[in-house]
Chains A and B, each alone.
Chain A
């Protein structure tokens, strides 16, 4: 299983941008970079994904390094509702699209 490395925890102030880093130095050419988050007492929720180019959606932006060995999830304006565990995952279709979750980053948002 392809491995990712994330900081254990991060803290942000409300209404400020948050940059959540992820290292994935063993990424292969066909791996997609997926981000999920898990709010307290809920199931994981898809946030965003990308392959090579930066991506934006209504929830967040994903910045992917040119060599694809790292990526950064960007929440443009953190709210209290964004407090969650954020998981960076490499997805391989040949493995049945199984998601291999690491420990993730606990994001705390201060008001």
Chain B
């Protein structure tokens, strides 16, 4: 069983479109994250939800909107896609109440905007 799964794995779309990436974790964790890895390979956190409540919201354009229907899911919706949104997006989860709080990452969604 995959601990953190993202769909789709690859997404190619045109500028201006709206798209969503889904993430699910079966680890029973209370916190989920979205990270973005750009072409230079830098990984940056975008959002985090703890028990369906937004706790981290880094400087991200309003076109990006996370949605957490329940603790096991955190989806990322992107409006009006731009060329600069092309990147690999990683979902992750961890248990905030644990002292070590290791994070588990999904395999990533490679988004290409053309």
Contacts and interface: CB of A to CB of B under 8 A. Distances in A.
Interface of A: 32, 34, 36, 38, 41-46, 49, 85, 87, 91, 93, 95-101, 103
A49 B90 CA distance: 21
Nearest to A87: B43
Given A42-B107, A93-B96, 15 more contacts: A41-B108, A43-B4, A43-B106, A44-B90, A44-B105, A93-B99, A96-B48, A96-B55, A96-B96, A97-B48, A98-B48, A100-B45, A101-B35, A103-B41, A103-B42
B23 to A, nearest CB: 11
Interface of B: 4, 31, 33, 35, 41-45, 48, 50, 55-56, 90, 92, 94, 96, 99-108
A97 B101 contact: yes
A101 B56 contact: no
B90 to A, nearest CB: 5
B90 A98 contact: no
Contacts, number: 63
Q: Which of B103, B104, B108 has the most CB of A within 10 A?
A: B103
Contacts of A34: 102
A44 B41 CA distance: 12
A96 B50 contact: yes
B93 to A, nearest CB: 10
Nearest to A42: B107
The 7 residue pairs across chains A and B that have the minimum distance between CB atoms = A43-B105, A101-B43, A46-B102, A96-B55, A97-B101, A96-B56, A98-B45
Given A42-B108, A43-B108, A96-B31, A101 B101 contact: no
Contact of B31 (A38, A45, A97): A97
A95 B96 CA distance: 10
A83 to B, nearest CB: 15
A91 B99 CA distance: 10
Given A96-B56, A97-B101, A43 B41 contact: no
Q: Which of B31, B41, B92, B100 has the most CB of A within 10 A?
A: B100
